[in-house]
């Protein structure tokens, strides 16, 4: 489908940019997986490692920024090359935030050590189990430059938001039941929020992939979360993705 540039070094450079994004994505994925493992097993050492490892992702983000600027200056990229480089800049930024959120979850794990709250925690791994494959799949969509796959992943975020909302209500009830639950539940709530934000960043990446390939915006109305404003979320508040 796509032929090579006449100047081979140009292709080499674009491939290098791609590879760095993929590397960042892999790290973000494994950081989240490790954070959830640390949570389930209350493994403080693992959690501390995760916080340190976040620096690697930050470094890669900086590399992408620098290299993208250099490519823009030296190659005067056009059309899909230009969108590709701009896309890499944006995706790198989203991946960096995803890794940050994973590290934030790990930080909370360390704090949670004081609260043996197994009963309260079941929803967190369940949310993560939805989000982790989203990260993997969106990276696959990026490598394949597949906007359909990207949109499919985009749609899965709706379920993540749903779980977040129900966890929100669940934690509220625990807090109302017993004031001693307030501190641990607040931490858990932040963790849930972090994971929910990871899902949002994945949808950002999906939108960037769409733009990268088609050169125009994914036309959609992103459903928003009604945190605690109503008991039932009316179905009409969600719009279907336009194809």
Partner 1 sequence: MGTMAQQIDKKKQDTLDARLVRKPISTSSPSAAANEESPLPTGAEAVAATPKMSTRKLNVFYDDKQALINVDLDIRKNKVTALIGPSGCGKSTFLRCLNRMNDTIEGCRVTGKVTLDGQDIYEKSLDVVELRAEIGMVFQKPNPFPKSIYENVAYGPRIHGLAKNRAELDEIVMTSLERAGLLKEVQDRLQEPGTSLSGGQQQRLCIARAIAVSPEVILMDEPCSSLDPIATARIEELMDELRRKYTIVIVTHAMQQAARVSQYTAFFHLGEVVEVGDTATIFTSPKDERTQGYITGRFG
10 versus 174: smaller Cβ distance to partner 1: 10
Residues 63-82 that bind partner 1 (CB under 8 A): 69-70, 73-76
Q: Does 5 bind partner 1 (CB under 8 A)?
A: yes
Residues 8-37 that bind partner 1 (CB under 8 A): 8-10
Rounded to the nearest whole angstrom, what is the least distance from the CB of residue 74 to partner 1 in the complex?
4
Per CB under 8 A, which of residues 110..149 are in contact with partner 1?
A: none
Compare residues 74 and 129 and give the one whose CB is closer to partner 1. 74
Q: Which is nearer to partner 1, 5 or 149 (CB)?
A: 5
For 138, the token pair is 């969106």
Q: Which residue from 62, 69, 61 is spatially nearest to 85, judged by alpha carbons?
A: 69
By CB neighbour count within 10 A (0-12 exposed, 13-18 middle, 19+ buried), where does 22 fall?
middle
Q: Contacts with partner 1: how many residues (CB under 8 A)?
A: 12
**Given its phi and psi angles, is residue 170 left (phi above 0), alpha (psi -120 to 50 degrees) or beta?**
alpha
Quote the least distance from Cβ 14 to partner 1, whole Å. Answer: 14
In whole angstroms, the minimum distance from the beta carbon of 89 to partner 1 comes to 14
User: Considering just the CA atoms, what is the radius of gyration of the chain in Å?
Assistant: 20
HSE-CB of 237 using CA atoms within 13 angstroms = 10
**Smaller CB separation from partner 1, 6 or 235:** 6
- 6 touches partner 1 (CB under 8 A): yes
Nearer to partner 1, 3 or 229 (CB): 3
Map residue 167 onto helix, strand or coil: helix
Report, in Å, the least distance between residue 24 CB and partner 1: 22
- The sign of the dihedral angle between the CA atoms of 67, 136, 143, 146 is negative
CA gap 240, 46 in Å, rounded: 40
CA dihedral 17, 21, 27, 29 (to 10 degrees): -160
Q: Given the rule CB under 8 A, which of 5-13, 99-107, 161-169, 185-193 is the region that contacts partner 1?
A: 5-13
How many whole angstroms separate alpha carbon 7 and alpha carbon 69?
19
Closer Cβ to partner 1, 5 or 193, answer by number = 5
The answer to whether the beta carbons of residues 11 and 5 sit under 8 Å apart is yes
Site membership for partner 1, residue 2 (CB under 8 A): no
Minimum distance from residue 5 beta carbon to partner 1 (Å)? 8
Binding site residues, partner 1, CB under 8 A: 5-10, 69-70, 73-76
């Amino acid at each position: 489908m796509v032929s090579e540039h006449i100047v081979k070094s140009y292709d080499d450079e674009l491939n290098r940019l791609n590879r760095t994004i993929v590397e960042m994505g892999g790290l973000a994925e494994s950081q989240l997986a490790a954070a959830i493992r640390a949570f389930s097993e209350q493994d403080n050492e693992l959690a501390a490692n995760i916080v340190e490892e976040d620096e690697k992702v930050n470094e890669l983000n900086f590399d992408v920024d620098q290299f993208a600027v250099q490519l823009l200056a030296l190659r005067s990229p056009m059309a899909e090359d230009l969108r590709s480089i701009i896309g890499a800049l944006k995706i790198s930024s989203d991946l960096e935030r995803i890794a940050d959120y994973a590290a934030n979850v790990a930080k909370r794990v360390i704090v949670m050590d004081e609260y043996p709250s197994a009963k309260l925690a079941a929803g967190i791994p369940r949310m993560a189990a939805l989000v982790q494959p989203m990260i993997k799949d969106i990276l696959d969509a990026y490598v394949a430059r597949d906007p359909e796959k990207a949109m499919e992943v985009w749609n899965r975020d709706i379920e993540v938001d749903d779980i977040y909302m129900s966890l929100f209500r669940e934690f509220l009830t625990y807090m109302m039941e017993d004031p001693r639950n307030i501190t641990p539940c607040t931490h858990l709530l932040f963790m849930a929020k972090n994971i929910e934000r990871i899902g949002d960043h994945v949808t950002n990446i999906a939108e960037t992939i769409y733009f990268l390939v088609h050169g125009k915006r994914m036309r959609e109305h992103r459903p928003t979360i009604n945190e605690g404003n109503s008991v039932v979320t009316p179905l009409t508040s969600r719009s279907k993705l336009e194809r």
